[in-house]
Structure 1
Amino acid sequence: MSTAEPRPTFLLVHGAWHRPTCWEPLQAALAAEGWQSRTVTLPSGGPQPTPSAGMYADAEEVSAQLRRIPGPVVVVGHSYGGFPVTQAAGDHPNVTRLVYLAAYVPEEGEYTRGMHGAPQTDDLEGSVPGFEDARGLLYQDLTDEQAELAIGRLVEQSKRSFHEPITQAAWRTVPSTYVLCEQDRALKPAMQEKMAARTGRVERIARSHSPFLSAPAELAALLGSIASTQD
């Protein structure tokens, strides 16, 4: 990125069972480095998620946010957020890069549960419970106080969101980088390695599934480096 070009804005897309508040420490760290960022509220999650809101509704919300952002955008999808990002981002010419942060990188026809071997189902109503051990799987490198706050913010997630398949894969046309979390217990590093092979570049961070909470300054520096580099 030359000095004459405007800095891109980061669009941060959260994962399942989360809300945009999870990004607050990272947004502060990005702002300290001079980067602008925005978030998305995915409709498939919430205290009482709408049963009809699935991955396609999430992708529509990502698209709506992208239409509101002037200038270039780097889209960051975390965990499940990789699905709506993959579905939506290819339709927007202002997206200069995708960043998959410990995220799914699906190809056409794949759905979240299917990537873990679960069969497709016609029963898409209701919500899916979260992790029984969120502390150990999502937040093992947070302090007890930080983990308690993060767990208290988790919400319900619609079943539909895990079963709607991708119909278009933005990573095929948009430059993409994978940030692999080497200490991840929720989305195992071995699976991340396989999905990362679909992207153009892989970066690694020795953190858990949620580095936006455990290491926001470190992650902000890495994202800034990714956004400033051309393939």
Structure 2
Amino acid sequence: MVSTKPTLVLISSRWHTPDSYSKFTDALKSADFDVHVPALPSVNRSRPPNADLATDTVLVREYVENLVNSGHIIVAIMHSYGGQVGTNALHGLGVESRAKQGKAGGVEHLIYMCASALTEGGAMIDKVKEFGHEYLMPLAFDFAEDDSCVSRDPKLLLIGPGCDDAEVEAYAASFQRWNGKCMYQPITHCAWREIPVTYIYTLQDMTLPLVYQKSMVEGLQAEGKKVATVELDTGHSPNLTMTKGVVDTISKVVDEMPK
């Protein structure tokens, strides 16, 4: 039987590769979802980095455009930095926007999974500055001279409790260097202005603290956007540490979408 569920596109976080999400995507496939995880160019191992937010935006936009032009209904799941990319890339691709142009398919929902949800002109670094946390940057991120960077303690800062040692080791081993300049690059478009939004708060997050997450959601609400929210009592990688909770959230979003 062919699934009638929407197609899921997972827009990954900094340092992550499609392989990083294997546990998560396997769980989504077991729930009868078709899942796509495009590889972001900013995590392509080039030294010095040769791709950034603009490159990631073009890649994701073209990837999703190909799907919607084939009639797919999309739910975009954005993890961490993936929120910056998806927010920037998916404008004009909403189901309603495309329907007004007589086009089928489109993005039906945006799910921000402890992800950057910004307004036009905003960059990831802005929240760090807003809360006076710039002094923490060298403690969290190891920048090389070419501006590529890694997390100084991914097991603590990116993963946290909830998995056995083998899972944590495998997940951390999948990470690649990322172009740290992306953190400072502003977005120019906001897909959330035209597409329904759910935000997954991660209460124990040590990379994108809860206070940042709530501030971003409040920023969207101040712009008149309705945002549904879900709380998961875990760290910055709920796809790994609370997989069932995320899959259940996605399934609930899908069940409540217009038929």
Give yes or no for TM over 0.5.
yes
Deviation for aligned residue 1:145 = 1.2
Which residue does the alignment assign to 2:181? 160
Query: Comparing 191-200 with 180-189, which one deviates more in the overlay?
Result: 191-200
Point out 4+ residue stretches in structure 1 off by more than 4 angstroms: none
Q: 1:22, 1:212 within 8 Å by CA — same for their partners in 2?
A: no
Equivalent residue in structure 2 for 1:179, among 197, 200, 205: 200
Q: 1:103, 1:192 within 8 Å by CA — same for their partners in 2?
A: yes
Flag the 1:75–1:50 CA change in 2: closer, same or farther, 3 A: farther
Q: 1:6, 1:72 within 8 Å by CA — same for their partners in 2?
A: no
Query: Comparing 179-188 with 153-162, which one deviates more in the overlay?
Result: 153-162
Q: 2:155, 2:168 within 8 Å by CA — same for their partners in 1?
A: yes
SS of the equivalent of 1:74 reads strand
Deviation for aligned residue 1:128 = 3.1
The amino acid that maps onto 2:236 is: H
Gaps of 5+ in 2: 95-105, 135-144, 221-225
Which residue does the alignment assign to 1:140? 160
The amino acid that maps onto 2:149 is: P
Give the distance between the partners of 1:16 and 1:103, measured in 2 at CA: 11
Give the distance between the partners of 1:218 and 1:177, measured in 2 at CA: 14
The amino acid that maps onto 2:246 is: L
Flag the 1:36–1:166 CA change in 2: closer, same or farther, 3 A: same
Deviation for aligned residue 1:146 = 1.2
CA deviation map 1:158-180 (0-9, x unaligned): 13322221111111111111011
Equivalent residue in structure 1 for 2:27, among 26, 29, 35: 29
Give the distance between the partners of 2:229 and 2:27, measured in 1 at CA: 22
SS of the equivalent of 1:11 reads strand
Give the distance between the partners of 1:214 and 1:90, measured in 2 at CA: 31
CA deviation map 1:65-99 (0-9, x unaligned): 10232410000110011011000111213000111
Which residue does the alignment assign to 1:105? 117
Which residue does the alignment assign to 1:72? 73
Give the distance between the partners of 1:72 and 1:230, measured in 2 at CA: 11
The amino acid that maps onto 1:187 is: L
Give the distance between the partners of 1:230 and 1:95, measured in 2 at CA: 12
Identity %: 24
Q: 1:43, 1:49 within 8 Å by CA — same for their partners in 2?
A: no
Give the distance between the partners of 1:225 and 1:135, measured in 2 at CA: 30
**2:163 is the counterpart of 1:126:** no
Give the distance between the partners of 2:45 and 2:235, measured in 1 at CA: 25
Q: 1:19, 1:155 within 8 Å by CA — same for their partners in 2?
A: yes
Equivalent residue in structure 2 for 1:207, among 212, 234, 241: 234
Gaps of 5+ in 1: 119-124
- TM-score normalized by structure 1? 0.89
Deviation for aligned residue 1:211 = 1.2
Deviation for aligned residue 1:50 = 6.1
Equivalent residue in structure 2 for 1:194, among 195, 215, 223: 215
CA deviation map 1:82-132 (0-9, x unaligned): 0110001112130001110000101111112233116xxxxxx83332221
Query: Comparing 35-44 with 216-225, which one deviates more in the overlay?
Result: 216-225
SS of the equivalent of 1:87 reads helix
Which residue does the alignment assign to 2:99? none
CA RMSD of aligned residues (A): 1.9
Deviation for aligned residue 1:32 = 1.3
